[in-house]
Amino acid sequence: MRAKEISSAVTKRLPRYYRYLSELKEQGAERISSKELSERMQVTASQIRQDLNNFGGFGQQGYGYNVEHLYNEIGKILGLNRTRKVIIVGAGHIGQALANYPDFEKRGFCICGIFDVAKEVVGDKVGSLIVQDMSRMPEFVKKEKIQIAILTVPKEEAAGIAKQLVDLGVEGFWNFALVDLKLSEGVVVENVHLEESLMNLAYNISRLDIVNSKLGVDYEEN
């Protein structure tokens, strides 16, 4: 696969293609046209064709896409065919929920360890792991060649821990702490800022309230 630059708008859509193709595969579909796929995904067929052309295009005129082939190719592009070693830092409610998430391994993410500073949780069993004391993290990360860390620590701690992990060789973060990590170039950060997502919901509901109350007034005026 050639490493050409593809806009992040396109690559951010790939997981969604992958999901729809996975469902088609489960349903036993062998091939699909961009038109059918566009109806299911509620995006235009031309967008689908353009998006997939970025990766060389996998469609054939008059046939459409071979579901299994396209699924596998997108999986490869997404890097899901590799195994990556991951730790979870922070064994609070979210950290524990993620440790119990069953689909990581399917995607090549091997959760090898979970760490916390709180004596109350160190030693607890979470999923198939035992919570370890944070002081053991550096040695573990080096020895196991951990590539990715999931951060579910308080926002005040996140930056310091992330920096420490980068120095230990960690290349990517799935960051649940509500802080923008400013790390050296070449380190990948994917944020899941739940509170901001919730605020987006609040905003959109407020807009709806305004629209509804405006409609209400218009009705009364008629």
Instruction: Provide the angle, in degrees to the nearest 10, between the axes of the packed helices 14-26 and 67-77.
Output: 140
Distant-in-sequence, close-in-space partners of 181: CB < 8 Å, separation ≥ 6: 158, 159, 162, 173, 175, 189
Q: Does 61 bind a second copy (CB under 8 A)?
A: no
Binding-site size for a second copy (CB under 8 A) equals 61
Calpha distance 152→117 (Å, rounded):
12
Q: Does 145 bind a second copy (CB under 8 A)?
A: no
Residues 91-110 that bind a second copy (CB under 8 A): 93-94, 96-97, 100-101, 103-104, 107-109
Q: Pick the binder of a second copy from 19, 35, 69, 145 (CB under 8 A).
A: 19
Q: Does 80 bind a second copy (CB under 8 A)?
A: yes
Q: Return the closest-CA partner of residue 36 out of 59, 54, 55, 57.
A: 59
Mask 108-127, x = binds a second copy (CB under 8 A)? xx------------------
Calpha distance 163→116 (Å, rounded):
17
Q: Return the closest-CA partner of residue 89 out of 170, 26, 28, 13.
A: 170
Q: Does 205 bind a second copy (CB under 8 A)?
A: yes
Q: Pick the binder of a second copy from 49, 172, 181, 183 (CB under 8 A).
A: 172
Q: Residue 130 or 188: which CB sits closer to a second copy?
A: 188
**Given the DSSP bridges, would you call strands 31-32 and 65-66 parallel, antiparallel or unpaired?**
antiparallel
Please say whether the beta carbons of 170 and 151 come within 8 A.
no
Binding residues for a second copy (CB under 8 A)? 1, 3, 11-12, 14-16, 18-19, 41-42, 77-80, 82, 84, 93-94, 96-97, 100-101, 103-104, 107-109, 147-148, 171-172, 174, 178, 180, 182, 186, 188, 190, 192-212, 214
